[in-house]
Amino acid sequence: MTFNESSSLPGTGEQRPVSVLTWLLMATLAAVGAALLYLAGLFVMVLWYNKVNPGSSAIMQQTLATLRQTSPEARLEHSWVDYENISINLKRAVIASEDARFFDHTGVEWEAIRKAWEYNRQQAQQGRNRMRGGSTITQQLAKNLFLSNERSYIRKGQELIITYMIELVMSKQRILELYLNLAQWGNDIFGAEAAAENYFKTTADRLTTSQAARLAAMLPNPAYYQQKGTTVFLASRTRTIQQRMRLVSIPE
């Protein structure tokens, strides 16, 4: 089978049909080339953010666009604060809550993902909505900085690729600094400084142990806790994190 399009045979002027196989090969090469360009672009951006503090993130932009659908004047609360100006308590609390093996992995905890999947499957079977995530801090940063809240295998694949890029390029300190400045702590609240001001009328460098533990406990569902305030589960989770914090080391 051939297409009608053709090319000239050298020196004869005769037309040679282009086969389906040739078109498929050309399409495949084009797709591979596009994918490589996309990955190269992502890697350049990872290199850039290793040195330059982002003023926003993909999740922040997505959130703002959603808010402005109902409130055109909506704004996000966000202020960048350098790593040394973030409370040690918050650094410890977030690692204790979100990624206990932060120093040990290279971006992805496959066993944690498997356990989270099994837990969520059981919850769904029992008609419960409480889900557990298996993402590391680096994976969450990859999603927050470059991607979206969409749940799909394609987005998860992109997240994994970016995660390994981040771990290759950035130090653990830089990863944690970016994460704490871009994490969502409410419907319109992003970063440790805005969270400290909004919930405790203080600054990120003055957060106490209990305040930091509560902010860390909010991370899986920040918009919900912003609206509901302290719940029984949130209080219990805060106490658990606070107990674990003393065992946590942080990047220096």
- Residue 215: the pLDDT is 97
Instruction: Write down the mean pLDDT value for the chain.
Output: 86
How many structural domains comprise the chain?
A: 1
Grade residue 125 by pLDDT with cuts at 50, 70 and 90.
low
Q: Residue 54: inside a domain, yes or no? A: no
**Which CATH number is 110's domain given?**
1.10.3810.10
pLDDT of residue 2 exceeding 60:
no
Q: Residue 9: inside a domain, yes or no? A: no
Q: Residue 136: inside a domain, yes or no? A: yes
pLDDT of residue 128 exceeding 90:
no
pLDDT digits (tens, 9 = 90+) for 82-93: 999 999 999 999
Q: What is the pTM of this model?
A: 0.83
pLDDT of residue 3 exceeding 50:
no
pLDDT of residue 134 exceeding 90:
no
Domain residue limits at 168? 35-48+59-64+80-245
Percent of the chain scoring above 90 in pLDDT: 60
pLDDT of residue 27 exceeding 70:
yes
Contacts 24+ apart (CB under 8 A), 190-197: 190/57, 190/60, 190/63, 190/76, 190/77, 190/78, 191/78, 191/79, 191/80, 191/81, 192/81, 192/86, 192/87, 192/90, 193/78, 193/79, 193/80, 193/81, 194/77, 194/78, 194/79, 197/77
Q: Residue 18: inside a domain, yes or no? A: no
pLDDT of residue 131 exceeding 70:
no
112: nearest Cα among 140, 143, 89, 90: 140
Q: Residue 113: inside a domain, yes or no? A: yes
pLDDT digits (tens, 9 = 90+) for 33-70: 887 888 888 899 999 999 999 999 999 999 999 999 99
- Residue 1: the pLDDT is 43
- Residue 19: the pLDDT is 81
- Residue 153: the pLDDT is 81
Q: Residue 17: inside a domain, yes or no? A: no
Grade residue 11 by pLDDT with cuts at 50, 70 and 90.
low
Grade residue 14 by pLDDT with cuts at 50, 70 and 90.
low
pLDDT of residue 210 exceeding 60:
yes
215: nearest Cα among 243, 187, 196: 196
